[in-house]
Amino acid sequence: MNALKATFAELLGLFVDDGMFALGIVFVVALAAVVSALPQASMLAGAILLFGCLALLCASVIRAAATFETRR
């Protein structure tokens, strides 16, 4: 049973390495979906997706670099 649990944990880790990053992406996509329901707001929804995901990626890289520096 432990081997099965470890296998699923490894498989999940392949897709969700950073939980806050994944949660942030879900939030950005949900926000863009809500905004896209408004009339004439498709460009705004696209901008939210683009800049929101870029901001999350930058924050994740900075956080990972800080963690790497503290381990050295």
**Residue 51 maps to a domain:** yes
Question: Which domain range does residue 26 map to?
Answer: 16-71
**Residue 2 maps to a domain:** no
Helices (H), 16-71: 19-36, 42-71
* Per-residue pLDDT tens digits for 23-66: 899 999 999 999 999 988 889 999 999 999 999 999 988 988 88
What pLDDT is stored for residue 53 in this prediction? 95
**Residue 4 maps to a domain:** no
**Residue 43 maps to a domain:** yes
**Residue 65 maps to a domain:** yes
**Residue 5 maps to a domain:** no
Q: How many CB atoms lie within 10 A of CB 60?
A: 17
**Residue 39 maps to a domain:** yes
Number of domains, the chain: 1
What pLDDT is stored for residue 1 in this prediction? 75
